[in-house]
Structure 1
């Protein structure tokens, strides 16, 4: 993978356990840009697993800056770093999208 793979899902708490819910949508971005999908409502009523929070799981194929917001800017806005080969979970709000940009390579 030359970019990032994203999966929107819900994180549930049941007692002292934290569980991942079903994937509502996946999206792979091979080139820098933003998702067409948006984060969904703050509930997954059919599971009955208790309290849940919308999350976006980010798996990076390259070192990437990732932003999550209604109009995300992975170059100049608030962002996180996700190293190549790593996966990070990010809490999000309804209507949020994801953008990513490659980390510039150092030149010598």
Structure 2
């Protein structure tokens, strides 16, 4: 792999591609929103609204390390607009699920990002 294997796609186009693709990888009843990260042109902000009575919102930051690899960071978990303890089993399980879905989405977009 060359050292120049970096992301070569406009951040807005990338966010739009993620917005089209991510809903196919998360649970049908969950809602996902993808926006460019204002502070980093190689990063996106993803909010996933978990379906069901819990009404959790998960905020993730996804940064492209290179054109194929992403680093996913959980930024915050909220319930009814308030931050909640992220260490509970149910939240940890959801975070793992969503992280997996985010990586599936990144893989689905390899054709676009790894040009």
Higher strand share: 1
Higher helix share: 2
TM range (shorter): under 0.3
What TM-score results when the alignment is normalised by the length of structure 1?
0.27
